[in-house]
Amino acid sequence: MILPGKTIGILGGGQLGRMTGQAARSLGYGFVVFEPQDNSPAGQVADLEINASYEDETALQRFADNVDIITYEFENVSAKALQFLSSRKTVFPKAECLYICQNREREKKFLQRKNFPCAPFEIIESAEDLEKAIEKIGRPSVLKTADFGYDGKGQMKIKDEPYEAERIWNCFGLGRAVLEKWMDFEMEISVMVAIGSNGGTCSFPVSENIHTNHILDYSLAPARIDSNIRKDAESLAKEIASTLGIVGLLGVELFVLKDGSLAVNELAPRPHNSGHYTIDACVTSQFEQFVRAVCGLPLGSVGQHKPVAMVNILGDAWSGKEPGFSELLKSDDVKLHLYGKAEPRPGRKMGHFCVFGEDTSDAFERAKKLKATV
C-alpha cells in the first residue's frame, strides 16, 4: 500500500494526467509528471514536470528517483520506457497491459484468443492483403492503423460502392493495419472497471456514448439500456479487466448490436473521456478511483447522485473568438472543467461540462441546448 504523503509519477501530461494528479492531491499525495512537451496541462499543477523524450533513460531515472509509484495517462508511451521504469519502481497498470492495448492488432488478437466478442478482423500489410480481406469480411468495413489511432484518426471506412484495393491502400498510407467488419450497432457504451492492487473490483455506471466526426461528443449516464444489457456489459468488462491483469482502471468501449448482444470496440488501461461525468455525478470520480486502485487503498463508492450528460468542448468552439461560458456558469446543475491548454485547435479537447437532469434524456436535452451557447 502506497499511503497518502507519498508521490505518484504520471507518464503523460494531458488532461487525464491533470485530473488524476488533482485527485491524488486531494487525497494527500504529491505527483510528478513526465512529458516531452513543457507547460502541459498536468505539468501546470504538478510538483515537478520533467520534460524529455520517453527514450531518455537519464531523465526516466530522475523521474523514478522522485516518485514512489508510477502510472500513465495515455497509451502512446514507449513500452520500452515502461519496462525500464518497472525495474526501478512499481508500475500499474503493468507494462504488459500497455503493450497489448496500445496496438490495435495485439488488442484484437487478445480479445479473439480469449473468446471475447469483437468485430471480425484481418491484418493488412499490403493492397493484396486488403483485397483478400474485403472479400472475406465484406463491406462496409473499416481500415484502422495498428498503432497510435484515436478519435477517428488513422481510420478509413470502405463503403459498398465499387472500390480499388490498391488505390485505398495507397491513400491510407499508414503501414500495418487492421480491417474490421462494420458493426451494425444500436449504440456505443462504456464501462469503467477498477481493480485495486489489494484485489478489490468495481465498475462505474454504464455510460452511453454519442460521437460527432469520430470524436466523443456526449456521454450520458446511466446509459439508456435495459437491465440485462447493463449487467452483461458490466460482467464482460470485469472479465476482460481480470483476464488482462489490470491494476488501476480499464475503459471498455462496447457496441450494443441490434439484437442486444455486445461486441468490444476498444480497451483503454487508464481513465477515459467517457468517464469524466464521474467527477461531478458520482461519490468517487474515476480519477480518485484510479489513484486508490494503483496505491492499494480501498476502492470508493461508485454510487451516482443524479442522471448526467457530459459534453466535450473542442477547440472548434474558439473559431477566432473566445467561447461564451457565461450560460454554463450561471446555469443550475452545470459544472464546467477546462484543461489549461494554451492553443485551441479544431478537434482538440479543451474541456468539458456536465449537466444534470431528472433522467438521462432530460440531462441530454439540456446539454444540447447549453452546448449551442458555447
Which pLDDT belongs to residue 148? Answer: 66
Contact predicate 193/249, CB 8 Å = yes
Which pLDDT belongs to residue 14? Answer: 96
Which pLDDT belongs to residue 319? Answer: 79
What mean pLDDT value characterizes the chain? 94
Which pLDDT belongs to residue 154? Answer: 80
- Mean pLDDT of all residues in 30-58: 96
Which pLDDT belongs to residue 172? Answer: 84
Helices (H), 245-346: 278-281, 286-295, 326-330
Architecture of domain 7-91: 3-Layer(aba) Sandwich (3.40)
- Mean pLDDT of all residues in 110-131: 95
Comparing CA positions, the residue from 207, 196, 331 lying closest to residue 281 is 207
- Mean pLDDT of all residues in 287-297: 98
DSSP codes of every residue in 116-133: --B--EEEESSHHHHHHH
pLDDT > 90 fraction of the chain, expressed in percent and rounded: 84
Q: Is 164 helix (H, G, I), strand (E, B) or coil?
A: coil
**Higher model confidence: residue 17 or residue 154?**
17
CATH code for the part of the protein at 120-181: 3.30.1490.20
The CATH homologous superfamily of the domain defined by 185-373? ATP-grasp fold, B domain (3.30.470.20)
CATH 3.30.470.20, the chain: domain bounds: 185-373
pLDDT in tens, 5-15: 999 999 999 99
pLDDT value at 150 more than 80: no
Q: Would you tell me how many other CB atoms lie within 10 Å of the CB of residue 203?
A: 19
Chain CA centroid to CA 223, Å: 17
| CB-based burial label for 338 (10 Å; 0-12, 13-18, 19+) | middle
Which pLDDT belongs to residue 322? Answer: 80
CATH 3.30.1490.20, the chain: domain bounds: 120-181
CA distance between the termini of the chain: 43
Which pLDDT belongs to residue 313? Answer: 96
pLDDT value at 321 more than 80: no
Q: How far apart are CA 47 and CA 359, in angstroms?
A: 40
**Which cell numbers in the block locate residue 311?**
459534453
Q: How far apart are CA 306 and CA 283, in angstroms?
A: 11
Which pLDDT belongs to residue 310? Answer: 98
- Out of 182-186, 200-204, 297-301, least confident range: 182-186
pLDDT in tens, 68-110: 999 999 888 888 899 999 999 999 999 999 999 999 999 999 9
Which pLDDT belongs to residue 170? Answer: 87
Q: pLDDT-based confidence at 151, cuts 50/70/90? A: low
- Mean pLDDT of all residues in 213-235: 96
CATH 3.40.50.20, the chain: domain bounds: 7-91
Which pLDDT belongs to residue 162? Answer: 67
pLDDT value at 335 more than 80: yes
- Mean pLDDT of all residues in 124-141: 92
Which pLDDT belongs to residue 152? Answer: 58
Q: pLDDT-based confidence at 330, cuts 50/70/90? A: very high
